[in-house]
Structure 1
C-alpha cells in the first residue's frame, strides 16, 4: 500500500509538471525552431536544427525589437507605479478597517467583497467614456490608477484581515509607552505584517504585468502600450511569426519569474494568513 501511494504521488507530480511547465518548455522549443520546420509532419518534439534568430532579432535594435523593449519598460513602469501608489493606500485603508471600530465598518467590508466579483469588461465601457471626456486616454499614470482601483479591494481585504489578528494588547502597550498611532503602526504593525504585504505586492505586480484587456482599450501609443499588447501585434493578418512571438514570450517571463522566485515563501505565508476572516 505504501508503494502504491508513492507511485500515485509521483504520477500526480509528473502530471502537474506536464500541465504547468509543459507550455513553457514547448514555447521555448518553438522559439528556437526554424519557421519552416514547425509545419513539417515528420518532425519530432525537438527540432533538428536549433536557431537563435528570433532572439537575435529582438536584441538587434530593429523595429520589432525596439517596440518590444519599449513596451517592456512600459510594463515595468506601470508595475512600479502600481506598487508605489497601491500598497500605501491599501495599508492605510486596511489599518482603518482592521484595527479601528466605527459605524459602517462591516458594510464597507461587505462592499469590498462585492467589488471583487465585478468583471473588468462590465466597467471598461464607462471607463473609456470617462477617460475620453476627460482627455485621459493614452496616459500611463491614469492607466495605472485603473489597475490600482481593480486591485485595492482584494489587497485591503487580505491585509485588513491580517491586521485584525494582531493582538490589541500589543498596540495598547505601545500607546501607553508614549508611541502614537502612527509610530505604533510603523514600528509594530508593519514589521509583523511583512509576509502579507509582500505577498499582496507580488500579486499586484504579476497582475499588472499580465494586463491585456484594460490597456487594449485605454492605451493606443507606444508610450503607454504594455508588453502583452505589443507581443500580440506581432501577429498580423498577413503572417504569424510563431518563433518570434514565442521568443518574446520567453523574454517577457523573466521579470515575473524572478519576482515569484524571490518572494515565493512570502506568497504562501501571506495568502494563508490574510485569508483568515477578521
Structure 2
C-alpha cells in the first residue's frame, strides 16, 4: 500500500513538473535552435546545432530588437515601482481598519472584497478605456498603475487583514495605555511582526504587474509605456514570425520575476499561509 502511494505521488509530481517546467524548457530549446532548423521534418526534440545568436542580438546594445526589449523591461519596472508605492500603503491601512476597528458594515465590506476578486478584467476594460480617453490618461504609467492597484487591492487587503487579526489586541492596547496613539502602536507592535505578509503582498503585486498583458494592451499602446509582455508579443507580426528571437526574448523577460520568486519564496509561502488562517 505504501509502495503504491509512493508511485502515485511520483507520477503526480512528474506530471506537475512536465506541465509547469515543460513549456519553459521547450521555449529555451527554441531560443537556441537555428531558424532554418525549426521547419525541418524531423523527429528530434533537440537541435543538432545550438546557436546563441538570438540572445546576442537582444543583449547587444544598439540593435533594434535589443533596444525595444530594454525599453519594455524599463517600462515594466516603472509600473512595478509605482504599483508597489501606491498599493502597499493603501492595502495596509485598509487591512488595519478592517481587522482592528469596529464599525457598521465591516463584515459586508470584507465579503464584497472576495466578490470583486472574481470579476474578469475584460468586464471592466471598456469602461476604463473610455475613462482614460476622456481624461487623457492613456499611455501614462502612473494611471496605468492605479488600475493595477485596484485589481490587486482586494486580495492583498484580505490577506493582510486576516494576518493582522491573528496578532493579539492586548499588545496594542498595552502600548496605547503606555501613552502611544493608534498610529504609534501600529508602527511599534503590528508592523514589525507583519513583514512576511507585507513582503508576500508586494510579491503578489510585483509578479502580477510584470506579467500583465490585457490591461496594458488596451491602455498603453505607445512604445514609451508598453511593458515587456506586450513588447515580446509584438516580435511576431502578420508578415513574419521569428520564433527563435521571440523565444529568447520570452526567456529574458521571465528571469526577473523567476529570480525574485525564488529568492523570496519563503516569505511568499509564509505570508499567504498566515493571511489565510483566519477570516
TM-score w.r.t. length of structure 1: 0.97
Q: What's 1:137 paired with?
A: 138
Secondary structure, aligned partner of 2:66: helix
2:59 counterpart of 1:59: yes
User: Could you report, residue by residue, the CA deviation over 1:143-179 in whole angstroms, capped at 9, with x for unpaired residues?
Assistant: 0111001111111111111111211111111111222
User: Could you report, residue by residue, the CA deviation over 1:18-65 in whole angstroms, capped at 9, with x for unpaired residues?
Assistant: 111111111100000011111112251111000011111112221111
- In 2, the alpha carbon distance for the partners of 1:151 and 1:2 equals 43
Query: Are the aligned partners of 1:158 and 1:196 in contact in 2 as well (CA < 8 Å)?
Result: yes
- In 1, the alpha carbon distance for the partners of 2:167 and 2:187 equals 14
Q: What's 1:91 paired with?
A: 92
- In 2, the alpha carbon distance for the partners of 1:68 and 1:206 equals 18
Q: What's 1:14 paired with?
A: 14
- In 2, the alpha carbon distance for the partners of 1:134 and 1:11 equals 54
> Displacement of 1:12 after TM fit?
2.1
Secondary structure, aligned partner of 2:130: helix
Q: What's the Cα RMSD here?
A: 1.2
Q: What's 1:103 paired with?
A: 104
Query: Are the aligned partners of 1:37 and 1:43 in contact in 2 as well (CA < 8 Å)?
Result: no
Correspondence list, 1:1-278, <5 A: 1-60=1-60, 61-278=62-279
Query: Are the aligned partners of 1:58 and 1:65 in contact in 2 as well (CA < 8 Å)?
Result: yes
Unaligned runs of 5+ in 2: none
> Displacement of 1:8 after TM fit?
2.5
Q: How many residues align?
A: 278
Unaligned runs of 5+ in 1: none
- In 2, the alpha carbon distance for the partners of 1:2 and 1:93 equals 48
